[in-house]
Structure 1
Amino acid sequence: MRTARQAWTEAPLALRHEVERRLGSPVREVEDRQGGFSSGIAGVATLANGEKVFVKAIPAGPDAVDDHRSEIGVSAQLPAAVPAPKLRFGLEQDGWLLRCFDLAPGALPHEPWLDHELAAALTMLEACAKALTPSPVTGVPTLAARMAGRCETWRALQRDGTYDTLSTAALGRWEREHLRPLADLELHWDELVAGDTLLHFDPRFDNILIDDHGTARLVDWSRACTGPAWVDVVCLLMESDLGARDPQKIFLAGPAGRDADPLQVDAFLVALGSYWTHTATLPGPDHAPHLRERREHSRRATMSWLRSRWTQNSAPPTTGPLR
């Protein structure tokens, strides 16, 4: 199912003229690019001179517009070593917010992942971690700040038995049996999971393009934040379909995963599981109702990995006193 988006001609005429002025050529057509869940315009613009660029534009309303503004600032400050398309310009005019990028070569990877595409994506994240530690970009939130107020499910269910439309009875047996340690770790996850790497924080398969040479590039930096480098690896594994692969094996095969503190990884999985367990019960937006299915996929993947980790350790972790 594709996300419903607006046509290029629905953007204000003055905005379109300003884009053409900056690009030095009229826009002949804009072809919608598959992937993602954002509304508005997102596609490949073909100019009259034959050049192609990528444009994204949304009405500058209150919903998530700060993330889109943040993408402009982050993209403009990314080092050249980061495998991401270059920002041409950002533009806010006539009630719309627009971003224009160089067109990244390549195509979306497959789901479930093909071996060589997954390897390319993991190599890309290693390159990002090296170039973005410590973060060279200013003005971005921490991971904890970005997720503030979104990871309260386990504590609410333990305390009240319900959370929004979710009830304890709707949980799986394992979650019910482990609700107390889930709630305990959820309480402290934001103190545990901290770092100074600039994270993309949304490296789904449809935010990645892989070219014919096997080089992967990461697009859409609207959710960038700072935290441990291994967080983006976890997000990659949990937000896309791994097929029958074991996420633990993949995670520990890379340098970020090998160096990660197990308690911190558990804490982040608890937070992700909390977020997705709640949001998977909510309907997707009108323009992307299939977002609910994606959240449910990530919920299942996250809780399965966490269950496996705790089973291997014979008991859930304890945070102990925090200093």
Structure 2
Amino acid sequence: MDVIAPPATGVRHHWAGLPALVRSAVEDILGARVVEARSQSGGFSPGVAARVRLADGRRAFVKAVSAETNPSSPDLHRAEARHTAALPPGTPAPRLLGSYDDGTLVALVLQDIDGRQPRIPWEPAELDRVLAAVGELGTALTPAPFDAPAAAVRKARMFTGWRTLPAEGDTSRLDPWAARNLGLLAELESGWEEPAAGDSLAHSDLRADNILLTDERVVFVDWPHALRAAPWFDLLTMLPCVAAQGGPDPETVFTTHPLGRDADPAGVTAVLAALTGYFVASSLKPAPPGLPTLRAFQRAQGAAALRWLRGRLGHRAP
């Protein structure tokens, strides 16, 4: 399958551009002076994302964003700090070392993981590693180790795309099959909450740019969107992105994976319809500040999810 998703990138700022007070606060958390900072390009956060080296040779990862850059991003950093701090020991995620918050700018100081993102297009061996790790993560985080919001609460406003498009969007820009079956898609979407419910802690934003491969393990980074859901929720929500980045058929992967093969087919279709509607409807909106490739990325995920959904519906939606 071809890669149809653009790189996941936000407008990055440099460590040196942070206010001196913030840089000093980060160094106080780390207990040493930062002598080198290398910006990292992957991911949608519109701020600082840098691997830093300290005067004593230790390393850390610093991410920071201001409400002046993007009004919603500081709250995501605050959520990431809470969730990361609450993950149980042994979770394949970076440790939170500390944070800074002045009400406008939020900075997180995290363990630096000596790894790299998966190669795009996806290589089969690397995808197999990640899929196995997603299964292990789902098992390890069931029951949820902390009281994260339920999927029905976290996604309540997001998973309404097919139902709100006629009033809020230009349906002439829809895929012809989706436009022809908009009523059915809206009906399916309206039933997503019950099958998505569960007591597994889901990352809920698994993409290649939120995954690091080391020699020994797979590490999942960026946890602001964590929620409680069915054990297969993470697997389902990541597969459209995998397909858009050159990965295999999501239906085959999902139905043969330990987390997906026993899932109720009708429930899976309802959640997939809701996810697809979110991607498609979001891709038609103007780009948010500091995230120039987000809408194109969502458009690619929406196209992959729509192909998957159309295949599951078959003769129900000609």
Mark yes or no: TM-score above 0.5.
yes
How far residue 173 of structure 1 moved from its aligned partner, in angstroms, is 2.7
Q: Which residue of 2 aligns with 1:32?
A: 39
1:71-220 residue pairs with structure 2 within 5 A? 71-93=80-102, 95-138=104-147, 140-157=148-165, 162-167=166-171, 169-213=172-216, 215-220=217-222
Contact conserved, 2:12 with 2:41, CA < 8 A, in 1? no
Higher alpha-carbon deviation: 182-191 or 298-307: 182-191
Contact conserved, 2:169 with 2:284, CA < 8 A, in 1? yes
How far residue 122 of structure 1 moved from its aligned partner, in angstroms, is 0.9
The one-letter code sitting in structure 2 at the alignment partner of 1:46 is R
Task: Describe the SS at the equivalent of 1:42.
Answer: strand
Runs (5+) with no aligned partner, structure 1 = 317-323
1:41-56 residue pairs with structure 2 within 5 A? 41-56=48-63
- Separation of aligned partners in 2, 1:301 and 1:102: 34
- Separation of aligned partners in 1, 2:222 and 2:89: 16
Question: What CA deviation, in whole Å up to 9, does each residue of 1:136-178 have, x standing for no partner?
Answer: 022x211121112223332235xxxx332322x3322321332
The one-letter code sitting in structure 2 at the alignment partner of 1:315 is R
Q: Which residue of 1 aligns with 2:4?
A: none
- Separation of aligned partners in 2, 1:156 and 1:19: 43
Q: Which residue of 2 aligns with 1:236?
A: 238
Task: Describe the SS at the equivalent of 1:258.
Answer: coil
The one-letter code sitting in structure 1 at the alignment partner of 2:161 is T
The alignment covers a number of residue pairs equal to: 307
How far residue 242 of structure 1 moved from its aligned partner, in angstroms, is 4.9
Note if 1:222 corresponds to 2:229: no
Structure 1 vs Structure 2: percent identity of aligned residues? Answer: 36
TM-score normalised to structure 2 length:
0.90
How far residue 76 of structure 1 moved from its aligned partner, in angstroms, is 0.9
- Separation of aligned partners in 2, 1:94 and 1:282: 28
Runs (5+) with no aligned partner, structure 2 = 1-6
Which of 282, 285, 288 does residue 285 from structure 1 map onto? Answer: 288
Moved >3 Å (runs of 4+): none
TM-score normalised to structure 1 length:
0.89
Task: Describe the SS at the equivalent of 2:236.
Answer: helix
- Separation of aligned partners in 2, 1:244 and 1:201: 19
Note if 1:245 corresponds to 2:270: no
- Separation of aligned partners in 2, 1:287 and 1:172: 27
- Separation of aligned partners in 1, 2:27 and 2:179: 57
Could you say which structure has the greater relative contact order, defined with CA pairs below 8 angstroms and 6 or more residues apart? 2
Give the aligned CA root-mean-square deviation in angstroms: 1.8
- Separation of aligned partners in 2, 1:163 and 1:8: 43
Contact conserved, 2:11 with 2:292, CA < 8 A, in 1? no
Question: What CA deviation, in whole Å up to 9, does each residue of 1:85-116 have, x standing for no partner?
Answer: 11111221373211111111211111221011
